[in-house]
Each structure stands twice: as structure tokens, then as C-alpha cells.
Amino acid sequence: MESYSSDAVILHHLDYGEADRIVTFFSLERGLIKGFARQARKSRKRFGAALEPFSTVHVRWQAQRSADLVTIQEADLIDLRSGLRHDLLALALAAYGCELIENLLGEIGPQPEAYQLLNAFLNHVHRQGGSPDARLIFELRMLNLAGYEPHLLHCSRCGGPVCTEQVAFSASLGGGLCLECASGTDVQHLSPLSLGSLSRILQAPPTLFEGFRFGPQTLQEGGNAVTSMLKRHLCRPIKSLSFLDQLSEGSRRVAAIR
């Protein structure tokens, strides 16, 4: 067996048998890993609350080449982010973000930029609560890190400028289109304001979430564009998305009444 250790974010876990757990975590040093934590639900000395979802921990494990799961030996808690448990929308958004990391990146080895992005996202949601702004920022930056950054300032087909009163956007063609290239294609339409906001997200420091406040038009148009690109590149549907969308719609209705 080879031994490893790394800081990591706990994505989710599954109770197994009477006391064990199967834990999926995203580590700084090794990327996405699934492990078996024996007696995790009884051993407070070795684990305590460290295996709770959305926690940042320092984890030690052993791996065999012939085994699908590593053996988790210990996990030291760095940040539990307990505030997420008191805000249902924040909890749903955190679960969505963790599932998106697992789905979009998969088991492709270390992804330090994605690890830093996930920590910054969870910290922001923990402090500020769930918001459509944070979701849009995280989704677009995840597309960028996965190699699917949409073309925003130039036509994704001919490379020409897309500066018009209304910009055509095609997920299948990789982003914005000029009027000539948009002819005869299945496109969405974005205002220059929405396009500029998406571009500003990618130009900002990748772990910065504070200071962004998007209007309803940008959230709708930009959100639809980013969602359409995600659907093309996800290997399977996001299970937590339906619940998140229900909560987000409820929050919008309450805000409208107020």
C-alpha cells in the first residue's frame, strides 16, 4: 500500500453497513478520490465531524493499485462551514457546486485551480448565503477550467467581432456569433450588457466572488447561455439541480412579493 495525504474538500458520503462510510473528496494533491472510512460513524477520535459534506479537511489515506476505493485513515477538520446547514438555499447551492466538480472534471488527476475555486465558492456561500450571482460565476469559471470557455468577444465561427445591439449565442458552436454566422442556426440572444458581464467574470481573479451584482436580464440571459453549454459537456444529469432550481424559484417569488 502507498500512503498519501492532502488538504481536501468533502463532496459527499454514503453510509455503509452499521458504522462505515464511503466518502468522495476533492483533494488538492490528487484530485477526485473515493475512499472507504472504516468505523467512521463511531470513531470520533479519527474523524469526528471531518467527513461532513462541504468541509475542508486534511486527509490521510492508503491506496492499492487493484482497489477502486482508497482506505481513509484519518481526517483533520480545517473548516466545517457550519453556516451552510442553517440556510437551505445555501446548502442546495453548495451541493450543486460539489456535484458539478465531480461531474465536469471527473477523475483526471490534480486540479489545483479547481480546488481553489471550489473552496472560494463554498466560503462565499457559507458567509453570504446562496445567490444566482454566485451560481453563475461558479458555473462559468468551471466551464473555463474544464476547457470549455465560451467565445464572448469574438464570433466562435469566423473570429470576427460580435459587437451588435443583440448578440447571438450558440452552445453547439462554442459561444457568440456575428449576424452573418448566426443565420440558419439554433441560437439564443444576449444583450451586450449580459455578454460584457460574462466576460468580466472570466477577467476577474478566479477566486473572487465579492463585488458582483447582476441584473435580472443578465441572470436570465447569461444563466441560460451557460446552462446550455453545461448540458453539452456534462457526462450525466446533475441530481441536485432540480431541488436547487425549485428553491431558487421560490426565493425569486418571495422577493417579488416583498
Q: Which one-letter amino acid corresponds to residue 66?
A: S
CATH 1.20.1440.120 residue window(s) in the chain: 83-154+160-257
- For residue 164, the SS3 value is coil
Q: List, for residues 15-65, the tens digit of each pLDDT value.
A: 988 889 999 999 999 999 999 999 888 766 678 888 999 999 999 999 887
Q: What is the pLDDT of residue 106?
A: 81
Please report the DSSP string for 3-38 in residue order: EEEEEEEEEEEEEETTTEEEEEEEETTTEEEEEEET
The b-or-e profile of 210-231 (16+ CB within 10 A means b, else e) is: eebebeeebbebbbbbbeebbe
User: If one looks up domain 2-80 in CATH, what number appears?
Assistant: 2.40.50.140
Angle at 109 between CA 105 and CA 233, to 5 degrees: 15
At 163, list the grid cell.
459587437
CA 119 to chain centre: 10
The CATH class of 83-154+160-257 is mainly alpha
The C-alpha cell at 257 is 412579493
pLDDT, tens digit, for every residue of 191-234?
988 989 999 999 999 999 999 999 999 999 999 999 999 999 99
Residues of the chain with CATH 2.40.50.140: 2-80
